[in-house]
Structure 1
Amino acid sequence: MSEDMSDGPNDIVAVLTDRIEARFGMSLDLLRKAVAARPTAYPAATEAVTWHGHLVESQADLDRAENELLAVLDTQSREIDDPALALAFQVDAAVQIRDGRAMVLRLLLDPDAPQKQGLAAQRLARLTRGDRTGPAVSASAPPHSTTSVPSVPVAGRSVRR
């Protein structure tokens, strides 16, 4: 799939919504209802619905920030004041958040993602299934040594050789 997600902000949500519906073979509304009824039945669907919700939320935050910035810019003269600049930074941050969530969702929907194949995928599957029976690193204190510690010269005293 080579849809360009940079055509517009709402296009990102629309493209990923279409991908979710294609991946799971049902409308997003039906998928949400299925996930709400049995969230643990199909973890991939639950994860996709969750991240889609995050994406929609971040898109709404971005829309609000852009509208606030445009309203302030309409009242500005040639120079932009600090409050307008702060709003511009908020818009930039909102874009970054929205795009990050879109990237996560794209990765979740991509069956050919590197994290879903090979040794890395097997390790990830083991971790998420809970096959591990103990900590990855020993949690016990190291054994105490019974050997004496060699003497160390004290600062300020000379050592003969």
Structure 2
Amino acid sequence: MRHDLVVTPMGLRFRGRRFPCTVGRGGIVPGAAKREGDGATPAGAHRIVGMLYRPDRLLQPAEGARPIGPPDLWSDDPRDENYNHLVRAPHGFGHECLRRADPMYDLILITDWNWPDAEPGRGSAIFIHQWRRPGAPTEGCVALSRRDLHWIAPRITPRTRLIVPSRT
């Protein structure tokens, strides 16, 4: 549908446009095969369930976007009861720091992959975020240029999904 973000061999399709994007270093795998740390992007239809941004680096990109604060982390430890959820420092389990020195997480679209009822080890933190550089793979997320991500963010709706076909 027109309001969905669709990964294609030519990039991410959204609202009649195509945007260069990258996926996980492990390629795209069927959702049932996705595992924590495999670097793969899970195939499927994933709802966009949240948006986070760095208020010290940019203005609120859309209504409802939540600011990332210094203690904000994302649990990626399957042993954690809060696995694949936003947590706060200090946190005694493995996690990703959302307030990074680089701009990669200045704006994050959160998908519902393995959320809210996370199955331990099935994969965490499948986001849409800024890429490191054009063509650089992610750890399983979908990444775009800063300009394209900032164009897309205010245009998503509560119905927007990230569609990752099994074969692109």
Output the TM-score relative to the length of structure 2.
Answer: 0.21
Greater relative CO, 1 or 2 (CA 8 Å, sep 6+): 2
| Higher strand proportion | 2
Rg larger in structure: 1
